Structure 1
Amino acid sequence: MSKISSMGLTTRIMIGMVLGILVGSIFQDILAGEDDYLIPLGLFSLPIKAFFVDGIFHIGGEIFISSLKMLVVPLVFVSLVCGTCSLSDPKKLGRLGGKSIGLYLLTTAIAITVAISLALLFSPGEGVPLPTNNVYDEKVAPSLASVIIAMFPTNPFEAMAKGNMLQVIVFALLFGVAMALSGKAGNRVATVFEDLNTVILKLVTLLMNIAPYGVFFLMAKLFTTIDIDLIAKLAQYFLVVVAALLIHAFINYSVLLKIFTGLSPVKFLTKMKHACLFGFSTSSSSATMPITLETATKKLGASNSVASFTIPLGATINMDGTAIMQGVATVFIAQVYGIDLSVTDYLTVILTATLASVGTAGVPGVGLIMLAMVLNQVGLPVEGISIIIGVDRLLDMTRTAVNITGDCMVTCVVAKSEGELDETVFNDPNAAKDLEDYHKSLD
């Protein structure tokens, strides 16, 4: 036990992930298409699926995800209020917004361009049999106008209760600005919020202690239920998407970081491994947000006034991983149905997917809604989505890790441009080591 406790949190999470994958794969082998498998234990039998998969693994995984999501709204609201009320220059807020949104749209456009290029190069849809009687229940995407209107809450408490992050961000910004303009009264309230922020960040640190167990439960359930045969049938599509995601995460982000900041991409990516493991296991940028924010401020050196704005915004509108899936999926579906797309069609896909990343922000099932929009725009059958849904769960995990890497890269660029990046922290390989030591002390 002492050896396990002495390991870093990232190592323990990795161990939990690997063990979960092994256990899940073993259970899938045992079940092998059966509804359940009973383990004889003397006077009674223990059902694997009902007791472990739908019981222990499901409950443990859901508790872990819920505990992370529990922190998102209070963390974002309190942190963003603290950051906003401390801004000495009101114009800075507009600069932060313009730079952040511009960079997020740029990275999304680059992502989908890379994806389409790889898909055209490797033709993953050729040889895949045309599906019959496939039906996809298409959801109507909201218009950009309705999304902009919906950003402003009529009831901020309802927005917090429903987890509507765009509305929470807008209210936090307005509240922070009002505090900054309220003199002594604003200063007194700011002190309370600073204390709340400290307490919430400590709660994040405490909850990190259950992360290895939560990751184990999530992986065990996923790999018990995932359809390996389907992945084999769509192997080329699967591999092209993964290749595009890796190129974007390791090459595109590194080049952009070096161009805009001159910082070391190797140090940046090394410090992202902890957050990426969380993103991979949770498949949710929102659930991973507490860890992403901690990484951006404690490990990468971005000030809270910048990170508290760019990270929640990125978790809401930064869809690089989803854009990659859309690019490959569009080419894949066109090839399966034998439909030729022109250069104009591909340019339309790039533009539509880039703009849709903002227009569908915060909508449940955002990836598939965006893909349906893209397919409609270039005249491809929306039913083609049903072909790839089966393998999308595993790809979604990788997309999330890429998205949060993009969030932190943009945060570093914006913070550097505003003089709000502590390069000593960024270059320090032991930055936030006190957090790791604290995690160990809890075991």
Structure 2
Amino acid sequence: MSTSVSETEKPTRFRLPSFGTQVLVGLVLGVVLGLVARNMGADGVDATTGEVDPNWLTETLSTIGGTFVTLLRAVVPPLVFLAIVASIANLRDVTGAARLAWKTLAWFAITALIAVGIGIALGLVVRPGDHTSVASDAASVPSSTGSWLDFLSGLVPANVLGLAGSAGDDGSVSMSFNVLQILVVAIAIGIATLKVGEAADAFLTFVRSALAVVQKVLWWIILLAPVATVGLLGNAVASYGWDALGSLGTFTLAIYAGLLIVLLGVYPSLLLLNGLSVKQFFTGAWPAMTLAFVSRSSVGTMPLTQSVTERNLGVPRAYASFAVPLGATTKMDGCASIYPAISAIFVAQFFGIDLSLTDYVLIAFVSVIGSAATAGVTGATVMLTLTLSTLGLPLEGVGLLLAIDPILDMGRTAVNVTGQALVPTLVAKREGIIDQEAYDAPRGRTAWREDTDLEARPVTATTAA
């Protein structure tokens, strides 16, 4: 007896969910484990330092998240340097490169002005300083402050790598990097490479090869993002919880309302005005947005922001490798526009100080120009102290807001990174250099289209629309 088989059944293979789904699962799992860790309480108090010892679950979550951020930060210096040098060298293939740069800066300023305007309006309407139960004895001057001198001195590279070392009390040495200084060094070397001409061809070959290697390492690191999300968000929930929100509830709502208006109102409007699909933009930028939310680091997210901007949103690499690193240090609609505007108004209202029209103009000025002062220093606290000192408001007001800063920083950073991907996309569209096919393509199972073409294609900018 013979048996004929008309159709061969293929064995079913297990497939992991898409990258975005994995990150969402990590977000949910992180919140659950964070709440469990918080309910477990602390293991005790260190008799020597008096600090609370976290339980084993909180420590595990902190280690997982911290390791991922450390890996990302390790890739940032070589990535920024190599990408900027290579992108400037590629400018020989870009028609209207100077116009692209100026239009990028102009859109940075336009979106920052819109964001700070929304922040000021919310501060005046909601009046968070009049609706708070925070005690005045919580006011204190922060340990680190921002100033215009910090910004100017930060432009001068301490060394060719933009690195700095500091010794701890226990004899350990820690290294840090100043992204703004790395940008300055990379721009100088990139321009020199253009001026040298053919003699720099061997150097450019090395830079492009090194950039390809760094990008491959970056890909391996970002594949860990779903697991890292569990640790980053879980540690945030376990360490800070939501207890501090009660006394500053109105202020918190005002901040997140401003962030949502910019994210879901201003950005989609700009996309529609330029003939771009809102859905395609947000699905393309989503991996960077979620990583920014949990990591609370624009610079740490910058490699992923650049990747999705190029591969998902269709921005040419020669332009994206210039605009995204620049945006990661100077384009902060959350930290440098909405937050300092509402916070300054909160501090003024709390201490009973009336702000004049000139003060509101100064808030806008600091938001547009001063955000670069935070590069290499860190965070919204420095930007807030810069704003308060410019207005002559009490710096002690910063201490009132520090308790909930980690909770606010999640939303601020997500908006920062979204804006850093938005501006290059808008400029590329208006200049006629966007890869519309890539922008409109269905999103795959990974964070971006997995192409291996590491060469920047020629870019010809047309007259702006």
Q: TM-score, normalised by structure 1?
A: 0.87
More displaced, 157-166 or 229-238? 157-166
Residue by residue over 1:125-164, the C-alpha shift from the partner in whole angstroms, topping out at 9 and shown as x without a partner, is: 22324633332236453326x6346424352134497422
Identity of aligned residues (%): 29
Q: How many residues align?
A: 422
> How far apart, in 1, do the equivalents of 2:106 and 2:115 lie?
14
User: 2:206 matched to 1:192?
Assistant: yes
1:244 and 2:248 are equivalent in the alignment: no
Which whole-Å deviations, capped at 9, do the CAs of 1:82-130 have from their partners, x for residues lacking one? Answer: 2111112688443333222222122112111101111222222223246
Distance 1:5 1:290, change over 3 A: farther
Aligned to 2:454: none
Residues in 2 aligned to 1:266 and 1:182: alpha-carbon distance in whole angstroms: 44
Q: What residue is the counterpart of 1:263 in the other structure?
A: 276
Q: Could you report, residue by residue, the CA deviation over 1:330-354 in whole angstroms, capped at 9, with x for unpaired residues?
A: 2222222233323332222222332
The aligned runs of 1:222-371 (5 Å cut-off) are 222-259=236-273, 261-322=274-335, 323-358=337-372, 360-371=373-384
Q: Is the 8 A contact 1:8 1:436 kept in 2?
A: no
CA shift, 1:325, in A, is 1.0
CA contact (8 A) 1:85 1:176 kept: yes
Cα pair 2:43 2:53 within 8 Å, conserved? no
| Match in the other structure for 2:117 | 113
Q: Distance in 2 between matches of 1:20 and 1:366?
A: 23
Q: For the structure 1 residues 90 and 217, does the alpha-carbon distance in structure 2 shift closer, same or farther, using more than 3 Å as the test? A: closer
- Given that 1:129 and 1:336 are in contact with CA atoms closer than 8 Å, whether structure 2 keeps it comes out as no
Counterparts of 1:208 and 1:3, CA distance in 2: 24
For structure 2, the 5+ residue unaligned runs are 1-11, 46-51, 165-174, 452-465
Q: How many Å separate the matches in 2 of 1:228 and 1:213?
A: 23
Q: Which secondary structure state, in structure 2, belongs to the residue aligned with residue 156 of structure 1?
A: coil
Quickly say closer, same or farther: Cα 1:23–1:53, change in 2 above 3 A: same
Superimposed CA distance per residue, residues 340-395 of structure 1 (whole angstroms, 9 cap, x where no aligned partner): 3233322222223322213x131424422221232233343221211111111011
What is the CA-CA distance between 1:11 and the residue it aligns to? Answer: 0.9
The one-letter amino acid paired with 1:8 is S
Change (3 A) 1:386 1:3: farther
In the other structure, the counterpart of 1:58 is: 62
Which of 15, 24, 33 is the aligned partner of 1:14? 24
- Residue by residue, what CA displacement relative to the aligned partner does 1:399-428 show, whole Å, maximum 9, x if unpaired? 111011111111112223444321111111
Amino acid at match of 1:372: T
Counterpart residue type for residue 420 of structure 2: D
Counterparts of 1:436 and 1:170 in 2: how far apart (Å)?
31
**Relative to 1, partners in 2 of residues 1:173 and 1:230: Cα closer, same or farther, differing over 3 Å?**
same
* Matches of 2:21 and 2:206, distance apart in 1: 36
- Separation in 1 of the partners of 2:40 and 2:422? 43
Pairing partner for 1:137 from 113, 118, 142: 142
1:41 corresponds in structure 2 to: none
Q: 1:182 to 1:386 in 2, by over 3 A?
A: same
Q: Does 1:411 align with 2:461?
A: no
| Cα distance in 2 between the residues matched to 1:434 and 1:319 | 23
The SS at the match of 1:233 is: coil
Q: Shift of the alpha carbon at 1:48? A: 9.1
Q: Report the RMSD for the aligned CA atoms in angstroms.
A: 2.7
SS at match of 2:161: helix
- CA change 1:215–1:3 in 2 (3 A) is farther
- Report the AA paired with residue 53 of structure 1: T
User: CA offset at residue 309 of structure 1?
Assistant: 0.7
- CA drift at 1:67: 0.8
Does the Cα contact within 8 Å between 2:132 and 2:250 map onto a contact in 1? no
Is 1:166 aligned with 2:176? no
Aligned CA distance change for structure 1 residues 123 and 172 (closer, same or farther; 3 Å)? same
Cα distance in structure 2, aligned partners of 1:141 and 1:280: 24
Asked if 1 retains the 8 angstrom alpha-carbon contact of 2:18 and 2:444, the reply is: no
Deviation (angstroms), 1:290: 0.8
Where does residue 224 of structure 2 map in the other structure? 210
Gaps of 5+ in 1: 38-46, 439-443
Q: How many angstroms apart in 2 are the aligned matches of 1:433 and 1:95? A: 34
CA shift, 1:219, in A, is 1.4
Bigger helix share: 1
Once residues 252 and 421 of structure 1 are traced to their aligned partners in structure 2, the CA distance between those partners, rounded to angstroms, is 21
Cα deviation, 1:273-313, whole Å, max 9, x if unaligned, reads 11101100110000001100100101001111111111111
Aligned partners of 2:145, 2:243: CA distance in 1, in Å? 31
Displacement after TM superposition at 1:173 (Å) = 2.3
Aligned-partner Cα distance in 1 for 2:26–2:145: 39
